[in-house]
Structure 1
Amino acid sequence: MDDRIRAHAETLVDWSARVGPGDDVVVRVAEGAHDLAVAVAAALGDRGANLLATYGSDEVSRAYLRAHDGDFAPADAERALYESADVVLSLGGGRNTAATADVPGGTRGAYDRARSDAREARMATDWVSTVHPTRSLAQAADMSYEAYRDFVYDAVLRDWEALAAEMARLKDVLDAGSEVRLVAEGTDLSLDIGGRTAVNSAASVEYDSHNLPSGEVFTAPAGVEGEIEFDVPITVRGRRLRDARLVFEDGTVVDYAAAEGEAALGELLDTDEGARRAGELGVGMNRGITRPTDTVLFDEKMAGTVHLALGRAYDACLPDGAAGNDSAIHVDLISRMDDGSRLVVDGETIQRDGLFRWEEGFEGA
Structure 2
Amino acid sequence: MDERIRKHAETMVDWSAQVEAGDDVVVSVSEGAHELGVAVAEELGKRDANVVTLYSSDEMDRAFLRAHSEAFDEDPAHELALYENADSVLFLGGGRNTMATADVPSEKRQAKSRASQGVREARMDTDWVSTVHPTRSLAQQAGMAYEEYQAFVYDAVLRDWAELADEMAKMKTILDEGSEVRLVKEDTDLTMSIEGRTAVNSAASVAYDSHNLPSGEVFTAPHATEGEVFFDVPMTINSERVRNVHLTFEDGEVVDFSAGQNEAVIEEVLETDAGAKRLGELGIGMNRGIDRFTDSILFDEKMGDTVHLALGRAYSSNFSEGSEGEANDSAIHVDMITDMSEDSRMEVDGEVVQRNGTFSWE
> Could you tell me the TM-score, scaled by structure 1's length?
0.98
CA distance in 2, matches of 1:158, 1:232: 25
Q: Summarize the alignment of residues 271-310 of structure 1 with structure 2, pairs less than 5 Å apart.
A: 271-310=272-311
Alpha-carbon distance, 1:77 to partner: 1.6
Q: Which residue of 1 aligns with 2:150?
A: 149
Q: Which amino acid in 2 is paired with 1:27?
A: V
Q: Does 1:358 align with 2:361?
A: yes
One-letter amino acid matched to 2:53: A
- Structure 2 counterparts to residues 236-275 of structure 1, below 5 A: 236-275=237-276
Give the equivalent residue in structure 2 for 1:347: 350
What's 1:52 paired with? 52
State the partner residue of 1:363. none
Deviations 1:311-365 (A, max 9, x none): 0000010132222000000110001002110000000000000000111xxxxxx
Amino acid at match of 1:95: R
| In the alignment, structure 1 residue 166 sits paired with structure 2 residue 167 | yes
Identity of aligned residues (%): 65
Secondary structure of the residue that 2:280 maps to in structure 1? strand
Quote the residue 1:362 is aligned against.
none
> Whole-Å Cα distance in 2 between the matches of residues 216 and 62 of structure 1?
32
Q: What is residue 194 of structure 1 aligned with on the other side?
A: 195
- Structure 2 counterpart of 1:18, which letter? Q
Residues 56-85 of structure 1: per-residue CA shift (max 9 Å, x gap): 100000011111111100232211100010
Instruction: For residue 269 of structure 1, report the CA deviation from its aligned partner.
Output: 0.6
Q: What stretches of structure 1 move > 4 A for 4+ residues in a row?
A: none
Q: What's the counterpart of residue 67 of structure 2?
A: 67
Pick one of 333, 337, 341 that aligns with 1:334. Answer: 337
Matched residue SS, 2:128 = strand
Aligned amino acid, residue 20 of structure 1: E
Distance 2:263 2:320 in 1: 35
Q: State the number of aligned residues.
A: 359
In 2, Cα distance between equivalents of 1:319 and 1:246: 29
**Residue 21 of structure 1 aligns with which residue?**
21
For the residues of structure 2 that align with 1:307 and 1:105, how far apart are their CA atoms? 24
Aligned equivalent of 2:43: 43
Query: C-alpha separation between the residues in 2 aligned to 1:247 and 1:289?
Result: 29
The correspondence of residues 303-322 of structure 1 with structure 2, limited to 5 A, is: 303-322=304-323
State the one-letter code of the partner of 1:339: E
Cα deviation for residue 222 of structure 1 reads 2.1
**DSSP 3-state at the match of 2:149:** helix
Gaps (5+ residues) in structure 1? 360-365
Distance 2:107 2:36 in 1: 34
Q: Look up the SS of the partner of 1:154 in the other structure.
A: helix
Three-state SS of the structure 1 residue aligned to 2:25 is strand
- TM-superposition CA deviations, 1:266-304 (whole Å, max 9, x none): 001101110010000000000000011011000000000
